[in-house]
Amino acid sequence: MEERKWEDLEFDCLVNVLGRVDMESLLLYVPFVCKSWYKASLNPSCWKHLVFPTDVDPEWDLTLIEKFKVWYDIHKCSLYSFIKFVVGLSHGNCTGLSLPDGFSEEVLKYIADECPALISLSLPVDHFQTSESLSILPTLIGKWEHLENLRLGSSDNLVDIITQISLACSKFSSLGVSIATIGGKKRHRQLSLIFRI
Amino acid sequence: MSSSTDSPTLTTETTQLSPQPDTETAKPTKKITLKSSDNQIFEVEESVAMEFATVKSFFEDSPSTDTVPLPNVTAKPLSQVIEFCKEQIKFKANPDEAQKKKYNAEFVTEKSDKDLVDMIPVANYLEIKDLLDVLNQAVADRIENKSVEYVRSFFGIDNDFTAEEEAALRREHAWAYEGVDED
């Protein structure tokens, strides 16, 4: 009795599974499972939804970027080039992106140029080291004409951002703000706005 | 685990349902016979069989046949796939998104790793998109952050890399990465 083997599973079906796997597995483990999985892991469809983890793995006491360095024996590894590398694997097909803490203005600019298909963008809650880099966000919104969902870590430049959204993103539907400055005080609460433009 | 005796809970469940006329039994429904690769016969209602795009197109091509051979499908995953599709037919008749979500979640939760892994090629071959979505998500969740060895044994995959090839793969990745890091 001949059963179909996972190694021979149709390529599209395997890519469909791998597209749902978390970033760490896809980056570190999936390529080494076997040759057909390695080939499938290079397909841009596997990299459409990119959630950069921000927390440290308690078992390893390392962040993903640190694990990546160890795993592939890479010496020099900035957050910018790591994000660039992973986003580059999507070859412009990325539709959902959640950025880690500490990203720079360059990261946002790169994403604006390389992710024209973006539908959902999520920026980290703890943005203290990145708040300055966010000041260019309003100027970049226009590059994401398919954007529907935006989650911000702060309410900085909110008016400018909303203005740009209303000009460029015709399908936009929801905006979430994690930390809003209301009446000069920081309120840690979720603000969600549903849009109808 | 034998289902030779009917569970009494089934009858109580039926009485709880709203008392609407059972249109399914009003007209005799056509049965279709599916034959697995290990020669087991499954008699299913036409509406269930039509959930399988592969079977549906088989019938469109040769409408006079009543037995569909499924040479790539063994009995166990096929019976589980049929079970899933029977439920989906009920949800089609009485749409209830919350109940459907609950059923789909329970369907995969109670399955072993092997059951899920065996069902995916079947759902893929029979082109049952909803089931494939549910299964693919379930296995993706189960291999989250798991080691290479774990994933291999989960799917029953043999490592076809030599040690040299594996080392070359790591270097290749590092080179690709360092190419990015130039600027």
User: What domains can you pick out in chain B, each with its CATH number?
Assistant: 29-143 (3.30.710.10)
Taken as a whole, chain B contains a residue count of 183
Q: pLDDT tens digit string along A146-184? A: 999 999 887 788 889 999 999 999 999 999 887 655 555
Question: Tokens for A51?
Answer: 């959630």
Contacts of A31 in chain B (CB under 8 A): 169, 173
Prediction ipTM score: 0.80
Contacts of residue B77, defined as CB under 8 A and 6 or more positions apart, other chains included, come to B115, B118, B119, B121, B122
pLDDT of residue B93: 87
Q: Could you tell me which of A171, A173, A175 has the C-alpha nearest to residue A161? A: A175
Q: Give the residue carrying structure tokens 């469809």.
A: A45
Exposure b/e, A89-120, CB count within 10 A at least 16 = b: bbeeebbbbbbbbbbbbbbbebbbebbebbbb
Q: At A119, which amino acid appears?
A: I
Is A33 close to B152, i.e. CB distance below 8 A? yes
Domain ranges of chain A: 1-47, 48-194
- Provide the pLDDT confidence category of residue B17 given band limits of 50, 70 and 90: very low
Topology of domain A1-47, CATH: Monooxygenase (1.20.1280)
pTM of the entire structure?
0.80
Question: In A, what residues contact B, Cβ < 8 A?
Answer: 1-7, 9-10, 13, 16-18, 20-22, 24-25, 29-35, 37-38, 57, 71-74, 76-78, 81, 84-85, 88
Mean pLDDT of chain B: 83
Is B159 close to A34, i.e. CB distance below 8 A? yes
Contacts of B139 in chain A (CB under 8 A): 17
Q: pLDDT tens digit string along B32-43? A: 899 999 999 999
